[in-house]
A and B are shown apart, each in its own frame.
Chain A
Amino acid sequence: MLWGYTNQTNNNANTFSNTEIYIPNYTSSNYKSVSSDSVQEANDTTNNNMWLLAGLWSNTGAITQIDIGADDTSSSYNFLQYSTFTLYGIKNS
């Protein structure tokens, strides 16, 4: 599933994109819907994108693992040093 967009190594140095992904009811036995916002701002005329994404994982299993890859998980692209990824859980009670 496409989550968002990242800056490349040849964009402005020290500039990282930001993506926020929300997955409600990730343990339910329904299909999993996803909301994602992704922004890229590199202070130039081409690397200035904002993505609003709606996703659906057509699987009724609970989500127990999330793999994040640059382009796709099987590609040879690498995340740049100092990239961070944080997973939070939100409870309804």
Chain B
Amino acid sequence: MASTYTPIATTTVSGTSTTTVTFSSIPSTYTDLVLISNSGSSTASDLNFELNSDQGDKYSWTTLGGNGTSAGSTRYSSQTYSGRLNWYAYQSTSNYSLVNIAHFMNYSNSTTYKTILSRSNNSALGTDAVVNLYRSTSAITQIKLLLASNWYFLSGSTFTLYGITAA
């Protein structure tokens, strides 16, 4: 049976020292990428991403989210170091309760800026829909997930990268 989601790579964290998770040498043969994260962190933390080792001010994002009491929207522009895949729904320190699904649209083209659509969910904290823009026309060949400061991803956190090919 043909696959729609073609697995590219997966990382399952072990130990207490993993502060970043990196997918390198991403093949350019797909149309879109999908990154599925099910994770927790040593300290409650956002799930940030860096593309192609680029720490320039090329990242911006708009969020729509709610926490069961209030809902809202926020926006960040011209951010350095990384984009962000969540707002209300961040990583907790137990139970791998963050589920994040991020779509990197048309990631391998070399003519347009790159759009990333994500859904972030933590049932104890909230749920978000986030759109990121990476203002670079370079093809995405590396995705690094990172935490603030020297915190680490909880052992057992999983990160899987899939490729989707247009017909």
Q: Compute the total of residue contacts between A and B using a CB distance below 8 Å.
A: 71
Q: Is B147 interfacial (CB-CB < 8 Å)?
A: no
Q: Which of A46-93 contact B (CB under 8 A)?
A: 52-56, 58, 90-93
B contacts with A: majority SS: strand
**Contact string against A for B residues 1-20, beta-carbon threshold 8 Å, 1 for contact and 0 otherwise:** 00101010010000000000
- For the side of the interface on A, what is the size category? 20 to 34
Q: Is the CB of A35 within 8 A of B99?
A: yes
For B, the interface residue count at a CB cutoff of 8 angstroms equals: 30
Q: Is the CB of A33 within 8 A of B123?
A: yes
Q: Is A31 interfacial (CB-CB < 8 Å)?
A: yes
Q: List 5 A-B contacts (CB under 8 A).
A: A25-B96, A30-B95, A52-B121, A90-B162, A91-B3
Residues of chain A having any CB pair with chain B under 8 Å: 22, 24-25, 28, 30-31, 33-35, 37, 52-56, 58, 90-93
